[in-house]
Amino acid sequence: MAGKVIYSIVVPVYNEEKVVLESYKRLKAVMDGVQEEYEIIFVNDGSKDQTGPLVSELCQKDRRVKFIEFSRNFGHQVAITAGMDYARGEAVVVIDADLQDPPEVIPEMIAKWKEGYDVVYGRRIKREGETFFKKFTAKVFYRFLRRMTDVDIPVDTGDFRLIDRKVCDALKGLGERNRYVRGLISWLGFNQVAVYYERHPRFAGETKYPLKKMLKFAFDAVTSFSNKPLKLASFTGILLSGLSFCYLLVVLYLRLFTSRTVQGWASILAVNLFFHGVILVTLGVIGEYIGRIFDEAKGRPLYIVKALHNFADDDQQN
Ligand code: UDP
Ligand code: MG
């Protein structure tokens, strides 16, 4: 019965037992309306709750549901990547499980794709039901990132998007480990267009991005797309050495040509502490990059798959 899959919907799930069934229901309703062959690929990113069993059960009832289970938590961006690796559709849609991004926008994306666009990304005009802190940090982050990088990464845009098969294949060729998928897609180029939508509150459960993960995400984004922090570090170094040199001249002049003694350990201490701070920050910046080089150098696979469901009976496995 299975014709050629036109649409692959990739849904990363991590401890989403409260939303995953609703998510499936909404996606199914929308995709049935499209009336072309589709598959929904759930990627279980090492959930510790009932998400795994729930989705496995879905797989038994609906052959269009595919399921990739990771051996542990590898992170949201890696889960998306795995979904794309296994997707067979002509167009691949990435959407979060929590229904913050409404599945009802997908037909709009499909319409744009049919007009000939290769990447259709969802741009949020409004975010509801998220904390002020999250909205504020997100806003600052996207604008900061834009200044830091030379790649044209659209602001206020998450991973909710549709990409054409050729973009998906190109993406597979980018093997970096610390992945910022939406940035990589921008970097690839192709014809990109936005559809606008309002971001709703989570259907249930809570955010899986605590501050620590948000920070890692932000560092990954900046370091993958820019070496400006390194340049900033050298620039600060040059500026401060220049200033210190001028100050040294002043001190020497006072010592040699005037009778005024140079006084005060307070100033010495202040300058010392300040410079130590700058040096440590600079080392930290360099360390971030070296850590990432180290990660890449090990060349480990991005993720380990524990189990695959509903993939085996396909005629054209990749
Ligand atoms: N997620 C994941 N692995 C993680 C964290 C999150 O697969 O380590 C999934 C999560 O289940 C959800 C999506 O990524 O489908 C987005 O996460 P979340 O909604 O918690 O992020 P937020 O919308 O709060 O930024
Ligand atoms: Mg969310």
- What 3-state DSSP class applies to 188? helix
Which is the closest atom of ligand 1 to the Cα of 130? 24
Domain ranges of the chain: 7-226+301-309, 228-298
Q: Which residue has the tokens 């052959």?
A: 63
d(CA 54, CA 208): 19
d(CA 318, CA 316): 6
CATH classification code of 7-226+301-309: 3.90.550.10
| DSSP E strand boundaries for the chain | 7-13, 38-44, 65-70, 91-94, 119-127, 157-164, 192-199, 305-309
Tokens (6 digits) for 238: 């040059």
- What 3-state DSSP class applies to 198? strand
pLDDT on residue 2: 57
Tokens (6 digits) for 264: 């005060």
pTM to 2 decimal places: 0.77
pLDDT on residue 151: 79
Instruction: Show pLDDT as tens, one digit a residue, over the chain (318 residues).
Output: 457 888 999 999 999 998 999 999 999 999 998 889 999 999 999 999 999 999 999 999 988 999 999 999 999 999 999 999 999 999 999 999 988 889 999 999 999 999 999 999 988 887 777 788 888 888 888 888 888 887 777 877 888 999 999 999 998 888 788 788 888 888 888 889 998 888 888 787 788 777 788 888 888 888 888 878 888 888 888 888 888 878 888 877 887 888 776 667 667 777 787 788 778 878 888 888 888 888 888 888 889 999 988 887 654 444
Question: What's the gap in Å between 35 CA and the centre of ligand 1?
Answer: 29
pLDDT on residue 198: 85
Looking at all shown ligands, the one closest to residue 96's CA atom is 1
Probe residue for ligand 1, chosen from 96, 127, 136, 214 as the CB with the greatest number of ligand atoms within 8 Å: 96
Probe residue for ligand 1, chosen from 198, 208, 217 as the CB with the greatest number of ligand atoms within 8 Å: 208
Residues with C-beta less than 6 Å from any ligand 1 atom? 12-14, 16, 45, 73, 75-76, 79, 96-98, 100, 207-209
